[in-house]
Amino acid sequence: MYKDYVLHFFSSNHIFTTLESIIKPIIYTMQNHFEILKVTRENVIKLIDQFTTDQLNEIPAGFNNNLIWNAGHILVTQQLLCYRLSNFECLIEEKHLELFCKGTKPEGDISQGDIDYIKEQMRITTDKLEADFMSGKFAGYNNYPTSYGVTLKTIEEAIIFNNVHEGLHYGYMLALKNKITA
């Protein structure tokens, strides 16, 4: 009887239905994470658009960075967490990687041209990450222990953690906004 069940299982579409039932929820969940990323990025862009170049570069008393540094930082961090740790080249210019990576702070004013580049890349890299993920581009990942206390072991974990990181910096940007407009 067991043999008959196994033969039926493999001779029918049951195995494909079973795989589909496993994979579909994973893809659906990741699509939710990409949607969160898109909404967060659009919120950041809307926030940036409310300010002049001078205001974006302003470091209010009690803070050690500014609005545009935070926007550049979330752009760079996503690239490092998702692409570099998956052994791929980052999609943004090296200059921006150096300006906004972990451990940096604003060293001078960011030009309007660079602000426009950051906003443009925030949209482009979001769509590209989703397309690359859905196409199966990310086959391996180098473990990364974050300063948050979480070790990332997969691209899925990196994407999810990136959303946490971007939400954290968006909140920081809202605090900066309140100081700048006060």
CATH number at residue 45: 1.20.120.450
Instruction: State how many domains the chain has.
Output: 1
Q: Give the ranges where the chain is alpha helix by DSSP (H).
A: 2-11, 14-48, 53-57, 67-82, 94-100, 112-134, 155-181
Distance between CA atoms of 178 and 166, rounded to whole angstroms? 18
Q: What is the residue type of 7?
A: L
Percent of the chain at pLDDT > 90 equals 83
Confidence of residue 84 (pLDDT cuts 50, 70, 90): very high
pLDDT given at position 7: 43
Range of the domain at 35: 2-181
Confidence of residue 6 (pLDDT cuts 50, 70, 90): very low
pLDDT at position 8 over 50: no
Q: What is the residue type of 60?
A: P
Average pLDDT, the chain: 89
User: Do 148 and 164 contact (CB within 8 A), yes or no?
Assistant: yes
Confidence of residue 182 (pLDDT cuts 50, 70, 90): confident
pLDDT at position 19 over 60: no
Q: Tens of pLDDT along 96-130?
A: 999 999 999 999 999 999 999 999 999 999 999 99
